[in-house]
Amino acid sequence: MQSYTADFGFIYNDKRQQKLISHLITQLRPLSMEHKIKIVLFSLENLDLDGTIISGTIIEGNSVQKGQCDIPPFIYNLALHSNADKMDKMRSLRKMENTLIINPINRFIQGIIFEMLSSLPNLQPYLLPAVSLNTTTLSDYLEKYESFFIVQEKSFSKPKAVTIKKLHDEYIIYIGAYGQRCKKDEILPYIKKMIHKNNHLLIKGIDRLKNGDVPLEMKIFLQKNWKAEWSITATVANQGIFSKSESYFAKTRYPSNNLGIEEINEYTKCLDTVSKEIGRFLDYYIPFVGSFTFDFIFDEIRSPYLIYVSGFEQDQNIIGQMDSESQINLLQNAFYYLLFLMNNSGMEKGAHHELDKS
């Protein structure tokens, strides 16, 4: 194979994101040509750390071919790495002196995230009381609240929530649209058995606004753009944390039987502003993140609440599900953020931070 020197790299999951390659080539080839940037698309399986060589798809202007290249100085991670070998490779890669990785981690411990966000006064109207689940806090929530949510602290798949609701002398446990009754004296051991040994977050429950027959959920996709500022890439309804509905992308934002056009515009502006503020705040604690997703739910008086924070990569198929406009936004933002970093290099590389427990 011919050897290249690449400027930018994009990491994808070789098994779960094969369809992503065609999208990357389509969107990145004209950008490579316009800005004279050489790009390599690769998976961690094809990364040789000892030889500092990558085998992947090389994009140089109109030319697209398989080849080998040195590890580029600026890399955007689009994948979620779930096995020990890949996570070790990512740790080693981001510690290299002359390489800057964007999205080096893409799973976040919810309890730590929400504790940090609770210190920001402007976010208080959008946060529900939340605490890490243990025997003491679970007993407290069962006593204190008529309903509450249980969300896994950190997951390799799309997050799911369980709703616990008090009903007279028993409880109903909702997973998606399905409910199961449980006696009051059996609820504590039942929940412990259900969550097994995984870490979870308890969140105070609310009566949720519905979109048709299911609770309205909104997911905001946030990215750093060409000015290294947070921008909204896409907004999606019905992601399925509380239901089994499939995600979908449409130009009509916040599609709901219960919201009119004026309310849609109002919520769009509100959640866009809130999401950008969250992104700017988390910048201080989680360096080198180029993308976030924020999941919101609504109460019956239409007040939005943040329920989950993750990276784009939590759903490996997310780019393929996007409409063409959202795909273009996502990949162009990723490219132009790397271009900004290249043009303003001189920043610290190989950093490590306290939330990096992947």
d(CA 320, CA 23) in angstroms, rounded, equals: 8
Q: Are 138 and 159 in contact (CB under 8 A)?
A: no
d(CA 57, CA 10) in angstroms, rounded, equals: 10
For the four alpha carbons of 211, 214, 218 and 219, in that order, the dihedral sign comes to: negative
Enumerate residues 6+ apart whose C-beta is below 8 A from 193: none
d(CA 88, CA 190) in angstroms, rounded, equals: 36
For the domain with range 130-204, which CATH number is right: 3.30.1020.10, 3.30.70.270, 3.90.70.20, 3.30.70.100?
3.90.70.20
DSSP result, 135-184: HHHHHHHHHH-SEEEEEESS-SS---EEEEEEETTEEEEEETTEEEEEEG
Helices 187-195 and 135-144, axial angle in degrees (round to 10)? 130
d(CA 238, CA 69) in angstroms, rounded, equals: 41
Q: Are 203 and 220 in contact (CB under 8 A)?
A: no
d(CA 49, CA 71) in angstroms, rounded, equals: 9
Domain ranges of the chain: 3-102, 130-204, 211-310
d(CA 287, CA 351) in angstroms, rounded, equals: 8
Parallel, antiparallel or unpaired: strands 63-70 and 47-48 = unpaired
Tell whether domain 3-102 is in CATH 3.30.1120. Answer: no
Q: Are 268 and 235 in contact (CB under 8 A)?
A: yes
Q: Tens place of pLDDT for every residue, the chain, 358 residues?
A: 556 789 999 998 876 666 778 889 999 999 999 999 999 999 999 999 988 899 999 999 999 999 999 999 999 999 887 778 888 898 899 889 889 999 988 789 999 999 999 999 999 999 999 999 999 999 999 999 999 999 999 877 778 899 999 998 899 999 877 789 999 999 999 998 988 878 999 999 999 987 777 788 888 999 999 999 999 998 877 667 887 655 555 444 444 556 666 776 777 788 999 999 999 999 999 989 999 999 999 998 889 999 999 887 655 566 666 777 888 899 999 999 999 999 998 644 444 334 433 3
- In a 13 Å sphere around the CA of 268, the CA atoms on its Cβ side amount to 17
